[in-house]
Chain A
């Protein structure tokens, strides 16, 4: 009896060491910018750096645009496929998985090749480059966004809810806005979070499109300033966890609201 209760605790402890030991090591290193002292100097350097603020803000805004564009593209598509074209689901899944097969470097060179020469030379302007960056991120976020939305749609009786709304006089736009989107809140938040994390750390596309993003800044800092770089890692992780917290906060109280039907 004793052995059986002790064993899981040993496993939990080993798991804890596996996940947190490197993190503790990173945290410890980030606090040793000044010799023989525990200091937050590296954090101070990072947080007061204008480049940190600028690049993080830029990536943050790009992430929001990516999430918005991805949501508006994926949700109606996945909804329509669920409702009217269920036989196309495997094809859509395959298409959304293509970004796992096509590396980011191929994607970005494709973008540069197509959009840097007439008639689609939009890469020359700042706005055009930002737009292409967002589109690239949307493509990269497809697997996460589609899967999240697809899972959310599977958890509700899309057809019956749609028909119920239709019988009450609702058109497609109203159904999407008032019924489908609100009930996909958790699924969309989950997809949005993954997209956010991906965009914040993304390096390849931002670098080759020469955008002032956070990913290239982190990479650059890692090569030149090791203490600040580890401090940045801890900051990034904290931001990620904060995002999870926000997601859970926004999703509170929705448990059990989705009906289990048929």
Chain B
């Protein structure tokens, strides 16, 4: 039995279905992220786990207990909000100790636990400060400590890093993951940032239009997207028009140039127009070594993005991107040059509902 079970959960607001038929099992100590665009239902699902929303149908079970109709204060879930939600009238120590005080823990125990979690978030000396005396990143760490102090069964984080600047976001997310692994706490994390979801999670739940699109490890989600939405939403994806030439052998034509896919072609016949998807980073210049697929293309544009260089290329009417790692000895073609690019059979995906 999973530690957190969501079975046939749905939520309807008026005429709008916010979440539909949501089924998910989360194991004890697992870190699961809900990833999707705004309005896809990820926060609503999290709020149903927390008890802030009542599911229209379905059940929420935590550690074997059906908590579907339990109020939030009876669920022992720690919640971290995007807006920090620290109590402005309390200092850091009082904020962290709030839940323990509610639970009527002895003063000594509260003090000890507060010191422990302050040490975990590396803010030992900040106990007497007020929220307004802290930076956004510090406030969010305190919010995390406050949620951890009550030793919740499930830690819920609702876009906790969205209000922070890029650098702090990266360092804090590493910190969150390290703390989660150290404490072995079951965690559900909501984000619309794919990098965050992929870098933090054991598993990612990709959501769209109130439904689950795909559940998988970050590796599976990125490399083997099941649906066009997942492929498009996670990472950058090229869409290239092609024609099926040989269904049996997976042969396609892009701008009359032959390419082969490792994917088994189903539901199409020779001559069918399809759209294939290739990740930019899976394409390289052919001079680096030839793979089964080689295309002649014209270089349209070159953009430096720091660690990578993004090259826009054209093959007939198809305009698409390729990424190559930047290094000081990189020899790039000039804009307007015609060069060969190459990619593996496995890189060519004909999406389930994409053609």
Q: Do A and B come from one complex?
A: yes
B:72-131 near A, CB below 8 Å = 72-79, 81-89, 98-99, 102-103, 130-131
Q: 1/0 per position for B138-157, CB-CB distance to A under 8 A?
A: 00000100110010000010
A:6-39 near B, CB below 8 Å = none
Query: Which chain B residues border A178 with CB–CB below 8 Å?
Result: 87, 98
Q: 1/0 per position for A140-182, CB-CB distance to B under 8 A?
A: 0000000000000000110011011111111100100011001
| Contact with B73, one of A157, A167, A182, A259 (Cβ below 8 angstroms) | A167
Tell me whether B89 and A163 are in contact (CB under 8 A): no
The CA-CA distance from A156 to B131 in the complex, in Å, is 13
Query: Which chain A residues border B150 with CB–CB below 8 Å?
Result: 168-169
Tell me whether A259 and B102 are in contact (CB under 8 A): no
A156-B88, A179-B87 given; A169·B77 CB < 8 A: no
Tell me whether A163 and B87 are in contact (CB under 8 A): no
A256-B132, A259-B131 given; A167·B88 CB < 8 A: no
Tell me whether B98 and A165 are in contact (CB under 8 A): yes
Tell me whether B73 and A257 are in contact (CB under 8 A): no
Tell me whether B132 and A169 are in contact (CB under 8 A): no
Give the Cβ gap from A81 to chain B, nearest Cβ, in Å: 19
A257-B130, A257-B132 given; A165·B77 CB < 8 A: no
Q: Is B71 an interface residue (CB 8 A)?
A: yes
5 CB contacts below 8 A, A to B, read A163-B52, A163-B79, A168-B147, A174-B102, A259-B85
Q: Is B18 an interface residue (CB 8 A)?
A: no
- Which chain B residue has the least Cβ–Cβ distance from A179? B87
Query: Which chain A residues border B51 with CB–CB below 8 Å?
Result: 166
| Contact with B102, one of A163, A170, A256, A258 (Cβ below 8 angstroms) | A170
The CA-CA distance from A167 to B103 in the complex, in Å, is 12
Q: Is A262 an interface residue (CB 8 A)?
A: yes
Q: 1/0 per position for A247-262, CB-CB distance to B under 8 A?
A: 0000000001111011
A168-B98, A170-B73 given; A161·B132 CB < 8 A: no
Across chains A and B, which 4 residue pairs bring their CB atoms closest together, nearest first? A168-B99, A261-B83, A164-B85, A182-B89
The CA-CA distance from A169 to B72 in the complex, in Å, is 7
Q: Is A57 an interface residue (CB 8 A)?
A: no
Query: Which chain B residues border A170 with CB–CB below 8 Å?
Result: 73, 98, 102
Tell me whether A183 and B87 are in contact (CB under 8 A): yes
| Contact with A161, one of B74, B76, B85, B103 (Cβ below 8 angstroms) | B85
Query: Which chain B residues border A169 with CB–CB below 8 Å?
Result: 73-74, 76, 99, 102-103, 150
Tell me whether B77 and A167 are in contact (CB under 8 A): yes
- Which chain B residue has the least Cβ–Cβ distance from A255? B132
Count of chain A residues near B, Cβ 8 A? 25
Q: Is B50 an interface residue (CB 8 A)?
A: yes
Tell me whether B50 and A167 are in contact (CB under 8 A): yes
A-B pairs under 8 A by CB, number: 85
- Which chain B residue has the least Cβ–Cβ distance from A166? B72
Given A166-B51, A169-B102, A257-B88, list of 13 further CB < 8 A pairs? A164-B87, A168-B99, A168-B102, A169-B73, A169-B103, A169-B150, A170-B102, A171-B73, A178-B87, A183-B89, A259-B83, A259-B84, A259-B132
Query: Which chain A residues border B84 with CB–CB below 8 Å?
Result: 259, 261
The CA-CA distance from A170 to B82 in the complex, in Å, is 20
The CA-CA distance from A229 to B10 in the complex, in Å, is 71
Query: Which chain A residues border B83 with CB–CB below 8 Å?
Result: 157, 160, 259, 261-262
Tell me whether B102 and A166 are in contact (CB under 8 A): no
Query: Which chain A residues border B147 with CB–CB below 8 Å?
Result: 167-168
The CA-CA distance from A163 to B50 in the complex, in Å, is 9
Give the Cβ gap from B148 to chain A, nearest Cβ, in Å: 11
Give the Cβ gap from B110 to chain A, nearest Cβ, in Å: 13
Tell me whether B131 and A164 are in contact (CB under 8 A): no
Tell me whether A164 and B89 are in contact (CB under 8 A): no
Query: Which chain A residues border B130 with CB–CB below 8 Å?
Result: 257
Give the Cβ gap from B113 to chain A, nearest Cβ, in Å: 13
- Which chain A residue has the least Cβ–Cβ distance from B146? A168
Tell me whether B86 and A179 are in contact (CB under 8 A): no
A167-B77, A168-B102, A174-B102 given; A161·B50 CB < 8 A: no
| Contact with A167, one of B72, B86, B87 (Cβ below 8 angstroms) | B72
- Which chain A residue has the least Cβ–Cβ distance from B149? A168
Most buried by A among B74, B89, B143, B147: B89
The CA-CA distance from A207 to B160 in the complex, in Å, is 59
- Which chain B residue has the least Cβ–Cβ distance from A262? B83
Give the Cβ gap from A168 to chain B, nearest Cβ, in Å: 3
Query: Which chain B residues border A257 with CB–CB below 8 Å?
Result: 88-89, 130-132
Give the Cβ gap from B335 to chain A, nearest Cβ, in Å: 44
Tell me whether B102 and A167 are in contact (CB under 8 A): no
- Which chain A residue has the least Cβ–Cβ distance from B97? A168
Query: Which chain A residues border B85 with CB–CB below 8 Å?
Result: 157, 160-161, 163-164, 259, 261
Query: Which chain B residues border A156 with CB–CB below 8 Å?
Result: 88
- Which chain B residue has the least Cβ–Cβ distance from A168? B99
The CA-CA distance from A183 to B72 in the complex, in Å, is 22
Q: 1/0 per position for B36-67, CB-CB distance to A under 8 A?
A: 00000000000000111000000000000000
The CA-CA distance from A22 to B146 in the complex, in Å, is 57
Give the Cβ gap from A64 to chain B, nearest Cβ, in Å: 23
Query: Which chain A residues border B131 with CB–CB below 8 Å?
Result: 257, 259
Query: Which chain B residues border A164 with CB–CB below 8 Å?
Result: 79, 81, 85-87, 143, 146
Query: Which chain A residues border B143 with CB–CB below 8 Å?
Result: 164
